[in-house]
Structure 1
Amino acid sequence: MGYRFADLIDACRSDWTAYIEHDFVRQLGTATLSEDAFRHYLKQDYLFLVQFARAYALAAYKSQSLEEMRSAFAGMQTILDVELGLHIGFCRDWGIREADLATLPEARATLAYTRYVLDAGARGDLLDLHVALSPCMVGYAEIADWLKAQPSTLRGADNDYDAWIAMYESAEFQDAAEAERLWLDERLAEVSPRRFDELVRLFRDATRLEIDFWQMGLDLAD
């Protein structure tokens, strides 16, 4: 019997829960997160998206088939032509100018996480890269589901952060996350126990760096 993405989560359950249910996430749901913390997160998330696009370029290089190359290219194009534009507009709604985004310094948590992902992909193969990215790619979809399930989560006009929640609970994002889970399930089904243990360490590290990214927002850390 092969492995599945769910097995990575089970192997890192405490870290995964700390990420999905982080105080930053809880405060988003209850509308108690400070606006300064959210703006700081938005700025750094813009910088993360830029590095995320680079990761897709690396995925194209690491691809072993035209199908994988086309998928990586489509992912990078979506970030550059769609997601960054949407994020810039979202930042504008929060009083953050595009000119300011272009000159932002990267916080240490941003540097640590994004460079870890790129290094994991450079040293390893395409599966390593996808596993390193999966806490972000799949985790945000699970966070949206978790927030929806909490009685304390406020929606609509009662929560200034509702648009953020809605973005990640959208069918488009949830479908993309599910496609990523299925891709990982197919590849993980073929790995050996030793290889799986290596991927667990990679997944755990990436999840811990996601936790640090949330904490950076709460602490306004640079």
Structure 2
Amino acid sequence: MKAAGKYTQKMWDAIASIYEDTITHPFVVQLAKGTLDKNNFAHFLSQDILYIKDDNLALDLVAEKAPNKSEKQFFQMLAKDGLDIEKALHNEFLKYFDIEEAEKKSPAIEKYTSFLLNHSENSVFALAAAALLPCFWVYNSVGNHILTIAEADNEYQMWIDTYHSEEYEHYTQRFIDIVERLASEADEELYQEMLKAFTLSTQYELDFFEEAMKK
């Protein structure tokens, strides 16, 4: 997934080292090979469900800040689709992988979701959108990377297959386009805040993989 212009390109360039650490992280490499310990995957999957719940709420909050009907509907649609993903993870994937539901958020997920919800509630639309973008852009890119290196007959193939979706690709590109427009209209101070939020969210994505490997 490519940047939509010079502003989102600068944002992607700013997280290049974090992204490289992410795609070479043992969690990602072992997941693709099918050698990831089930306990590590169980922590990731059960916590991901809790993350998505708060992410959906953040998207709904951001939708209310949208300056036009089209973007309002876009973020509402992302939140709705997130609920469908949450249900699928809860009803299908936990059962398929024989994983118990998490009762409370882990430290990494608590920190990440608090960050997103705080921006969604208290920041201007542009800044809140920039904070939420890595969940789509970085995760989509990592997923596509996993698809290219995944071993055949992988124990986690059912999960890996979820990364491939033309609809998700379309959503991600639309999100990038929106943030590019917002960044182009922002003054330098706001853009720097957007850049900072985008970078922190990307780091939180990596921190989640790191936490999962310690379980």
Between the aligned partners of 1:60 and 1:172, the Cα distance in structure 2 is 19
What's the counterpart of residue 73 of structure 1?
76
In the alignment, is the contact (CA less than 8 A) between 1:60 and 1:72 conserved in 2?
yes
In the alignment, is the contact (CA less than 8 A) between 1:168 and 1:174 conserved in 2?
no
Normalised by the length of structure 2, the TM-score is: 0.89
Moved more, 181-190 or 87-96: 181-190
Q: Deviations over 1:3-41 (max 9, x none)?
A: 332210112221222233322111111111101110111
What's the counterpart of residue 58 of structure 1?
61
DSSP 3-state at the match of 1:195: helix
What's the counterpart of residue 206 of structure 2?
211
AA aligned opposite 2:142 = I
Say whether 1:119 aligns with 2:118: yes
CA RMSD of aligned residues (A): 1.8
Q: Deviations over 1:146-170 (max 9, x none)?
A: 22344xx313x2x111222221122
Q: Deviations over 1:25-61 (max 9, x none)?
A: 1111111110111011110000001101110221122
Identical aligned pairs, as a percentage?
A: 23
Normalised by the length of structure 1, the TM-score is: 0.86
- Aligned mate of 1:83, from 68, 82, 85: 85
How many residue pairs are counted as aligned between the two chains? Answer: 210
For structure 2, which runs of at least 5 residues remain unmatched after alignment? none
Say whether 1:96 aligns with 2:99: yes
Sort the Cα spacing of 1:176 and 1:112 in 2 relative to 1 into closer, same or farther, 3 A. Answer: same
Say whether 1:187 aligns with 2:182: yes
For structure 1, which runs of at least 5 residues remain unmatched after alignment? none
In the alignment, is the contact (CA less than 8 A) between 2:23 and 2:29 conserved in 1?
no
AA aligned opposite 2:50 = L
- Aligned mate of 2:167, from 147, 166, 172: 172
DSSP 3-state at the match of 2:13: helix
In the alignment, is the contact (CA less than 8 A) between 2:127 and 2:193 conserved in 1?
no
